[in-house]
Amino acid sequence: MKNILKRALCALLCLFLILPLSALSGCSGTGDVMIKVGKSEITENMFVFWLSRYKAQFIYAYGASVKETYGVSTIDAFLALKDESGRTYDEIMTEYLYENTITYLIADYLFDKFGLSLTDDEKKEISDTVDGLREELASGSKSEFNALLAGYGFNTKTLEACYTLEKKTEKLQNYLFSSGGPCAITTDDVDAWYRANYQRMEQICIFINSKPDTADDGSFITDSDGHVVYRDMSAAETTAARERVSEAMAKLSAGIDFATVAAEYNENTASEGYANGIYLCRDTVYDAGNDTSKIYDALKEMKDSEIRSVELSDTIHIIRKLALDDNAWESPQNADFFSFYDSAAGGYVGLATYIRTPLFLEYVENERKALAGEIKTYDEVRQRHSIASVTANYIF
């Protein structure tokens, strides 16, 4: 479960919240203040909004795997379970989301510090979004719309406040890291992030337990969606596969060239198309929803040219660590490893654009440390709400 939870927490940049209306105070506004610094503040109903949104995204992305892993029928049943530290997953995830809420608080503080403001068009975009939701979901009725929001534990004012703060955070990030900004990203910045967060390798992959089903001509069989169909391997097949791993490792230990051994033993031909090797990005690996992170973690421990075997659920990978080459993100041959989907942009972006987000979070965290003595927290308000106590918000 640790890997699933780690991916779930790391994969999503911001937080998402919700709770029953009866449990909220100050419902005519945005609730009691939960945390503040200077003139910037986050209220409990804003926290509820973000909790509810995150809960929905967690269920959508990880719900099925969590329920299967733990044998529970609902996510709330999972949240009641405890990890080895004795804390419930509800406590762990709520704490993480609270910490992320402070990112919004500091972003709002810095937005004012740098003298930024939203334009009339940006404000209109927010109001138009809320008006559009009201029209779509409540036929334009303010009372009906607020009644719908109340079912999630907040109201129109909270919704507008959260959308405004998200827009401010986005604008602050663009101001800091765009060309000419105080933290404009340089080639050196990209290179430093690349070297801190990427591993490069070549591999020999051998299937165990299950393998792609093949046609008579040896090609992989796919389903109607184009996905490769896997079949279970017999115990004898898996034993034979493990023997192939031992044979390949013995040949490599004897000094036979890695490419020569790979040509004989590699069963995943897709990797053979990458002449420059395979580049693993930490963020992509931990967000992948599988156990590929074991390979990344092994590579971090290895020296250049070192060879090691790593067993995953259905494969054993014999990996050889390669040194990171210069400016790898600029090579068209490596494009598959340096392209990231950006929902805000509505498409894929390169490494230089992608790293704005982690660098922004690092920048905000440093500012948070500097402001630690000025941040006021109201624990009695914070403790009213948790991810288990909210309703999953798939709409807002």
- Select the more confidently predicted residue: 286 or 278: 278
Which residues make Cβ contacts (< 8 Å) with residue 189, sequence separation at least 6? 355, 359
Q: What is the predicted pLDDT for the residue at 18?
A: 26
**pLDDT greater than 70 at residue 21:** no
Task: Say if residues 15 and 100 touch (Cβ distance below 8 Å).
Answer: yes
Cut 0.85: pTM above it: no
**pLDDT greater than 60 at residue 6:** no
Domains of the chain: 2-184+359-389 (no CATH), 192-337 (3.10.50.40)
Q: What is the predicted pLDDT for the residue at 361?
A: 94
Q: Report the C-alpha gap between 16 and 143 in whole angstroms.
A: 24
**pLDDT greater than 60 at residue 8:** no
Q: What is the predicted pLDDT for the residue at 217?
A: 82
Q: What are phi and psi of 117, to 5 degrees?
A: -155, 155
User: What's the mean pLDDT when you consider all of the chain?
Assistant: 90
Residue 173 CB burial class (10 angstroms; 0-12, 13-18, ≥19): buried
Q: Report the C-alpha gap between 339 and 179 in whole angstroms.
A: 20
